[in-house]
Amino acid sequence: MIAFLLRRVGQIIPTLIILSFLIFGLQQLMPGDPAVILAGEERGDPQVLAQIRAELKLDRPIWEQYLNWVGNVVQGDFGFSWRIRMPVAELILQKLPVTAQLATMAFIIGVVIGVPLGILSATRRDTPADFLANGIALFGISTPNFWLGIMMILLFSVQLGWLPPSGYVPLWEDPVQSLSTTIMPAFVLGTGVASVLMRHTRAAMLTALSQDYVRTARAKGLAEKVVVWKHALRNALIPVVTLGTIEFGRLLAGAVLTEQIFTIPGFGKLVVDAVFNRDYPVVQGVVLATALIFVVLSLVADLLYMAINPRLRTA
Amino acid sequence: MSAPVLELRDVTVTLPTDRGPLRPVDGVSFAVAPGKTLAVVGESGCGKSVTALAIMGLLPQGSRIGGAIRFDGQELTALDAEAMRGKRGAELAMIFQEPMTSLNPAFTAGEQVAEALRLHQNLSPAAAMDRAVEMLARVRIPDAGRRARQYPHQLSGGMRQRVMIAMALACRPRLLIADEPTTALDVTVQAQILALIDELKAETGTAVLLITHDLGVVADHADEVAVMYAGRVAERAPAARLFANPQHPYTVGLLGAAPSLEGGAERLASIEGTVPDLRNPPPGCRFAPRCPFAVARCAEQPPLAPMGEGHLAACWRAPLDSLLVAA
Ligand SMILES: Nc1ncnc2c1ncn2[C@@H]1O[C@H](COP(=O)(O)OP(=O)(O)O)[C@@H](O)[C@H]1O
Ligand SMILES: [Mg+2]
């Protein structure tokens, strides 16, 4: 167990180093000179541009810029936003809880819909209920989030007036208002998760239900719901939990478009604005933080997998 | 002989398949008395397991059972699912061929044995676990208390089959169906498991339906034998009689094909050919195409006819004594 953890953490370090190259390197390929964009009205004045470049150390060789950045990041300093004029770390800490709330709500919606639907369609295989569940999953996967988001705004905000169409109120300021501003985007994001979980739960349950131990459970005289919800599900969940953790990571990282539609000031909006403004430190910081979250979550997924799989726990 | 625990009369099973209904069991009759072992023998694909699953009420959905299955005087085919569930694990128990996969990998051995006790005997979780450990000790699992807390992957095949037996016998069933319980185990473990079943049977008076394709096993552990071929009973007899005086050519062939303990001693040549396609069985005697003694009359189905004390055989040419001498 300890050995496993050490080995996993050992793998993380080279992963992060390669990631830092990619993040930095790809950014150099973005068109547009940040100095020109930052100079705004004065973009015609070469002296101003030179000054900005010197100030941001953009006049230094690229490898020096890279080492500077990495050196600072290692010490916990993510740099300073060129545009918003705030430390990047602070910006991230400010936006992360917003996205985390959205992702958590979406994830709960995804699990609550996806897992039972998967179980239901596996136990009623090839019945109308199964076809319906598969239809819902197909709908959830193939519907673009922006379209679903706009439709929901039109229905619940414009037509019915039940929910605010946009904006965000922090959870600790006004929980009810906070939930009503996030429920629609969370639902939009949750449908995708529900579809993925439904399909995987269904497949895993079908596999589990055909195993010999299920026949043993029935031979014991257990009620069918115990056979399904205890004996089969306990085994089917092992792969689904891993997948769920990765889906959660995708929610944290991939809410960009949905956050734009509902103008939720989270991670997605932060990075989109930063890209348009060529605010390199912010882009680098957010992408790196996202990658870190992913790496940590995949470690969590492995640990959960071990925790619920006796074969690994007691090996 | 006391009243049988289980009696099958003319049982047929029709299974739904992708290619239409299939009838792997076609008119099977036999009976098992309390404390006795009936061995059901036959090559793979003869319908032994399907017969067992029919008794347990565990056939796939959409299957149909014809004929009568009487258990302790009660007609099982007339029971609803709920009533059948109450019998399974309590009065009727079954162990399977594959000990490696028959236990749930996600629960400990103790939990799996205790589960049936909690369900059928309303024991508290703690009391059920105590009883489960007792049962594990009784099936000779050393250090039962520790083993009870282990998961199946931590146990050997023989040990897992012992856990299955402990699970099956925990509620002292009236009937234990053992479907090829030792096929997947190595020879020494096989002998131990079969001896264990015999011992528990003697202790509890449980009737045993022992399914096997290995006649060697039958000689040592069965009181009576039913030989099945292609979904039908070919021959039924007390075990000693069957070995001494087989009256169906299929049984004779099986005896020839049985691995002999002495080794080397070549007996009758093993049976040529394979079990017929059940979708398209030969008319009349299903063994006729493979039978060295077949005659024109075998195109008609032979009835199970008495051949002496408790001995029945479905063959037009029985008794075979004169034919066997000639061969
Ligand atoms: N669930 C099922 N669906 C379709 N056919 C089955 C099923 N179970 C068994 N059969 C068929 O029934 C026949 C008898 O099988 P079985 O009872 O398992 O034989 P055995 O005597 O080896 O135990 C075989 O031809 C098998 O293919
Ligand atoms: Mg079988």
- Break chain A into its structural domains and give their ranges: 2-74, 95-276
Q: Does B87 touch chain A (CB under 8 A)?
A: yes
pLDDT (0 to 100) of residue B183: 84
**A213 closest CB neighbour out of B85, B104, B119:** B104
Assess whether B57 and B127 both reside in one domain.
Answer: no
Q: Is residue B97 part of a domain?
A: no
pLDDT (0 to 100) of residue A16: 84
Q: Which of A234-243, A282-291, B128-137 has the highest mean pLDDT?
A: B128-137
pLDDT greater than 90 at residue A172: no
pLDDT (0 to 100) of residue B122: 92
- Ligand 1: atom nearest CA of B60 is 1
Q: Is residue B68 part of a domain?
A: yes
pLDDT greater than 60 at residue B266: no
Q: How far apart are CA B238 and CA B308, in angstroms?
A: 11
Burial A41-60 (b: 16+ CB within 10 A, else e): eeeeeeebbeebbeebebee
pLDDT greater than 90 at residue B110: yes
Which chain A residues are within 8 Å of B150, Cβ to Cβ?
314
Assess whether B77 and B116 both reside in one domain.
Answer: no
Q: Does A236 touch chain B (CB under 8 A)?
A: no
Q: How far apart are CA A177 and CA A241, in angstroms?
A: 31
* Burial degree of B211 (CB within 10 A; 0-12, 13-18, 19+): buried
Average pLDDT score over residue span A218-240: 94
Task: Count up the domains in chain B and report the number.
Answer: 2
Q: Which of A158-167, A250-259, A261-270, B37-46 has the highest mean pLDDT?
A: B37-46
Domain that holds residue B177: 6-91+173-325
pLDDT (0 to 100) of residue B101: 93
Assess whether B282 and B248 both reside in one domain.
Answer: yes
Q: How close A128 comes to chain B (CA, Å)? A: 17
Of B148, B171, B194, the residue at which a domain comes to its end is B171
Q: Is residue B279 part of a domain?
A: yes
**B94 closest CB neighbour out of A219, A222, A235:** A219
Assess whether B263 and B249 both reside in one domain.
Answer: yes
Assess whether B205 and B286 both reside in one domain.
Answer: yes
Instruction: Reduce the DSSP state of residue B278 to 3 states and report it.
Output: coil
* Residue B18: half-sphere exposure toward Cβ, Cα within 13 Å: 0
Instruction: Reduce the DSSP state of residue B252 to 3 states and report it.
Output: helix
pLDDT greater than 60 at residue A240: yes
pLDDT (0 to 100) of residue B77: 94
Which residues fall inside 5 Å of ion ligand 2, going by CB? B 49
Which residue is closest to A123 within chain B, CA to CA? B61
More confident residue, A294 or B77: B77
The whole-chain average pLDDT of chain B stands at 90
CATH number of A95-276: 1.10.3720.10
Q: Is residue B184 part of a domain?
A: yes
Of the listed ranges A207-216, A289-298, B135-144, the one predicted with least confidence: A289-298
Q: Is residue B98 part of a domain?
A: no
Which chain A residues are within 8 Å of B153, Cβ to Cβ?
310-311, 314
The predicted-structure confidence for A79-90, as pLDDT tens digits, reads as follows 888 888 889 999
Q: Indicate the pLDDT class of residue B1, thresholds 50, 70 and 90.
A: low
Assess whether B245 and B114 both reside in one domain.
Answer: no
Q: Which amino acid is residue A139, in one-letter code?
A: F
Question: Could you tell me what percent of chain A has a pLDDT over 70?
Answer: 99
Q: How far apart are CA B155 and CA B109, in angstroms?
A: 9
Q: Is residue B306 part of a domain?
A: yes
Assess whether B18 and B157 both reside in one domain.
Answer: no
**A221 closest CB neighbour out of B89, B101, B107:** B89
pLDDT (0 to 100) of residue B258: 56
pLDDT (0 to 100) of residue B132: 97
B45 lines ligand 1 (CB under 6 A): yes
* Residue B327: half-sphere exposure toward Cβ, Cα within 13 Å: 15
Of B171, B187, B203, the residue at which a domain comes to its end is B171
Of the listed ranges A42-51, A197-206, B120-129, B204-213, the one predicted with least confidence: A42-51
Rounded distance from Cα A28 to ligand 2 centre (Å):
67
